[in-house]
Amino acid sequence: MTSAVGPLSVDALIEGAVAKAGHDRFGDPWFREPLEVLVGSLNGEARLSETGRVIAEHRLGALLVDRLRLRSFQEEHPEVLDVDVRVAAVICGLPRTGSTLLHRMLAASPQLTATMGWECSFPLPFPGEGPEAEIRKARAKEMMEAFLAMSPDFGDIHTVVWDGAEEEVLILDRAFTTMGFDSFYWAPTYGRWLRSFDQAPSYAELRQWLQVLQWQDPSREGRRWVLKSPHHLTALDTVLDEFPDARIVMTHRSTTQAVPSYASMCRAMMAMGSDEIDPVAVGRYWSDRFRESLGAFVEIRPRRPDRFVDVPFLATVEDPVGTAARVMTDLGFTVGDADRAAFEGYRDENEQERRGAHSYTAEEFGLSEAQLERDFAFYTEAYL
């Protein structure tokens, strides 16, 4: 059943955020365009249930409040703007290609750092909170438990953590320019619009968020960041320009596995906010979306060959420790005993966290192995 409540309103969302934050110093209003396109898509396409609409309104409002709180934090602590953020790697590749395992392995290294799950949910300290961020951690744990209660099968698809490395793209959501939105909601107009939008302001803001997190945690001093999200494939040139020391770590897997697997993941997420999901439309949408993203990768890579590292899916699954060590070496690091011990520790932890099998077929989503092989041949023939 779709919502009987009125449509989402950008003006109302902004007014509510200003009231909660106590000021309206958003700065450059560039973010309003992506927010308006997103809200229009949610109202016109997402077929939100009443619960889904409430969740969407709360989520968008909280993201706007965080934009305002970031400005307040920078005004209170102007030195944060001078923090030197150095990114070693940006892990890309399609979803379901071993990128999460590789990310969390690398993040375990004492030479590297990554955003934690609780930081992605609550990157700014609450009033009166101590340096251990005890309030934010507790709330992030509660949020994770509530999320898994709403979608009990999701944990079989993707290991959700609040106290471990998580995709910083969740922080980038505050710019309203990520594939997280058209993954969580049926919002194809927004997703297609995002393909042609200049994401440079988004990534400039991501740097600011990393500055804030690095400033809050002195243990990150001297450590370089490892970022990760398939979303970064939509803005490779922008990512490489914003983080000039970084290399793209590209994870590769057969698209006949990766595409329907992600469609299944999106169906699970969309079911939290809508009772009317068309799996065939979802599958075909993401097949088109990923074909375009990999087309951009194939076009950009020859122009900047020194900025890429390749990682086959099977290498990550069969030898995660050796693969992580090899990638770090390719990134210019010397891999020592402490790194290997950290990799082995996470490998063992990951094996204990594994849950049920993720079951799906391409046909459920209007796809077929032959069609996927044909549509993605330009990529698989070159990189698999």
80 to each of 23, 73, 172, 174, how far by Cα in Å? 20, 9, 18, 19
Return the CATH number at 185.
Answer: 3.40.50.300
Determine the structural domain holding residue 335 and report its residue range.
87-383
The 3-class secondary structure across 43-89, one letter per residue, is HHCCCCCHHHHHHHHHHHHHHHHHHHHHHHHHHHCHHHHHCCCCEEE
pLDDT digits (tens, 9 = 90+) for 129-175: 999 999 999 999 999 998 888 777 666 666 778 999 999 999 999 99
Cβ atoms of 229 and 168 within 8 Å: the answer is: yes
Strands 247-252 and 224-228: unpaired
Cβ atoms of 166 and 226 within 8 Å: the answer is: no
Residue 350's pLDDT is what? 85
Residue 28 within a domain: no
Q: Global pTM?
A: 0.95
Residue 6 within a domain: no
Residue 237's pLDDT is what? 98
Sign of the CA dihedral 100, 171, 250, 346? Answer: negative
Residue 74 within a domain: no
Residue 71 within a domain: no
Domain count, the chain: 1
**Whether the predicted pLDDT of 4 surpasses 60:** no
Residue 43 within a domain: no
Residue 111 within a domain: yes
pLDDT digits (tens, 9 = 90+) for 291-335: 999 999 999 999 999 999 999 999 999 999 999 999 999 999 999
DSSP E strand boundaries for 186-307 = 224-228, 247-252
CA distance linking residue 333 with residue 206, whole number of Å: 24
Residue 35 within a domain: no
State the burial class of residue 307 (Cβ atoms within 10 Å of its Cβ: 0-12, 13-18, 19+).
Answer: middle
How many percent of the chain have pLDDT more than 70? 95
Cβ atoms of 66 and 124 within 8 Å: the answer is: yes
Residue 49 within a domain: no
